Chain A
Amino acid sequence: DAKTTQPPSMDCAEGRAANLPCNHSTISGNEYVYWYRQIHSQGPQYIIHGLKNNETNEMASLIITEDRKSSTLILPHATLRDTAVYYCIAPRSAGNKLTFGGGTRVLVKP
Chain B
Amino acid sequence: SQTIHQWPATLVQPVGSPLSLECTVEGTSNPNLYWYRQAAGRGLQLLFYSVGIGQISSEVPQNLSASRPQDRQFILSSKKLLLSDSGFYLCAWETGSSEAFFGQGTRLTVV
Contacts and interface: CB of A to CB of B under 8 A. Distances in A.
10 contacts: A43-B92, A43-B104, A96-B96, A97-B34, A97-B49, A97-B57, A98-B92, A100-B43, A100-B44, A103-B43
A97 B96 CA distance: 9
Interface of B: 32, 34, 36, 43-44, 46, 49, 57, 59, 88, 90, 92, 94, 96, 99-105, 107
Candidate in B44, B49, B101, B104 with the most chain A CB atoms within 10 angstroms: B44
Interface of A: 34, 36, 38, 41-46, 49, 85, 87, 92, 96-103
A44 B38 CA distance: 11
A46 B99 contact: yes
Contacts of A44: 44, 90, 92, 100, 102
A101 B104 contact: no
Given A43-B90, A46-B100, A98 B43 contact: no
Contact of A101 (B43, B59, B92): B43
Contacts of B96: 92, 96
A46 B92 CA distance: 12
Contacts of A99: 46
A103 B104 CA distance: 19
Contacts of A92: 96
Contacts of A101: 43
A92 B95 CA distance: 11
B57 to A, nearest CB: 8
Given A44-B90, A85-B43, 11 more contacts: A34-B100, A41-B107, A42-B104, A43-B90, A43-B104, A46-B100, A87-B44, A97-B34, A97-B57, A98-B32, A99-B46
A41 B57 CA distance: 26
Contacts of B107: 41
Contact of A41 (B43, B44, B88, B102): B88
A25 to B, nearest CB: 21
A43 B103 contact: yes
Contacts of B49: 97-98
